[in-house]
Structure 1
């Protein structure tokens, strides 16, 4: 009898803590989406503030359309002064990331495989007098991705790229120049087979 009472109390405490955590999560989400520069359609899922990264709680302009869905371990970074526009019906699979310092625009019904990375910037570097890579200064150029595209897993899309509508990009591509609409891009790496020596 005592064991049943103890189990009941433990379940109630666990449920109470879970409710508190859910309420706190909802509160943070409401605070985030109430910012004047954040326009996220209510159908976005999951409603988790931890997906979004800024700079010390400040974000650039974020506009997200209907039925945008991200799976686990995705990150969307939009620094102050940057602009992110995502259309309707866009989907990001696990471990994808959007890194926006300038401007990134994604058209309706575009889907992203696992591990896709978007970077509208790269670090500035030079000689002063020795070679250096600046940790906080960037060279930037917008990324535009059209409607109805399928971006394969582990693709990396770099600054200044424009991808037209209805494109398919195969897994593992590094996209560093623009792609016209209605195009399929494949990774052309070759597999090399060698026999192990018999010793």
Structure 2
């Protein structure tokens, strides 16, 4: 297996591998261009994001600054919006459904490291995918940790640290995040 194949399958991999370094450089250059492109040139910004991400819906809007590891492992649905300062570490797949809103300074992380200090110091890492359903709203300064799945219609309160998965129609918040309330949804 290549280091990229190991990375995408959730196994330990070497991030210093030449292919991975080149892919991260490509993503850094695209995000640099995106972050320097005027907000008045919306079509160019959308085209940059579409060339960076693995897949997108037609309607997508990302405020600068935006940063990611690879970009190609990010898949977003229709009507995606990410506000200022969004960071998505996509060493594993990140899948976000339709009609999702990401508030300022949100972090979505798939990258993680071994707990054992000797193994961690060797430089290997691994990833766990993140999945966010349709119609979700992630509040400002929230953190979505590796391996989390959020169902449809989930609202994540500002500042929440999401360390485990949650089903549909809930508001979650806190550190670690827990269910604050159920969402009564007549059309869900």
TM-score, structure 2 normalization: 0.63
Aligned length: 137
Provide Cα deviations, 1:44-80, integer angstroms capped at 9, x if missing partner. 662475x79xxxxxx8x7111111100121113327x
Structure 2 residues without counterparts, runs of 5 or longer: 1-28, 31-41, 177-188
Match of residue 78 from structure 1 = 70
Structure 1 residues without counterparts, runs of 5 or longer: 1-27, 30-42, 53-58, 190-199
Q: Which 4+ stretches in 1 moved above 3 angstroms?
A: 131-135
CA distance in 2, matches of 1:142, 1:44: 30
Q: Which has the larger radius of gyration?
A: 1
Shift of 1:188: 6.7
CA distance in 2, matches of 1:176, 1:167: 15
Match of residue 174 from structure 2 = 187
Provide Cα deviations, 1:69-111, integer angstroms capped at 9, x if missing partner. 00121113327xx632110101000001111011110000000
Match of residue 100 from structure 2 = 110
CA distance in 2, matches of 1:74, 1:156: 15
Match of residue 151 from structure 2 = 164
Shift of 1:168: 0.6
Contact 2:113 2:120 in 1 (8 A): no
Contact 1:141 1:159 in 2 (8 A): yes
Contact 2:129 2:147 in 1 (8 A): yes
Q: How does 1:1-199 map to 2 (within 5 A)?
A: 46-47=45-46, 49=48, 62-78=54-70, 83-128=73-118, 132-135=120-123, 137-187=124-174
Specify whether residues 77 and 48 from structure 1 end up closer, same or farther in structure 2 by C-alpha distance, changes over 3 A only: farther
3-state SS of 2:59 partner:
coil
TM-score, structure 1 normalization: 0.60
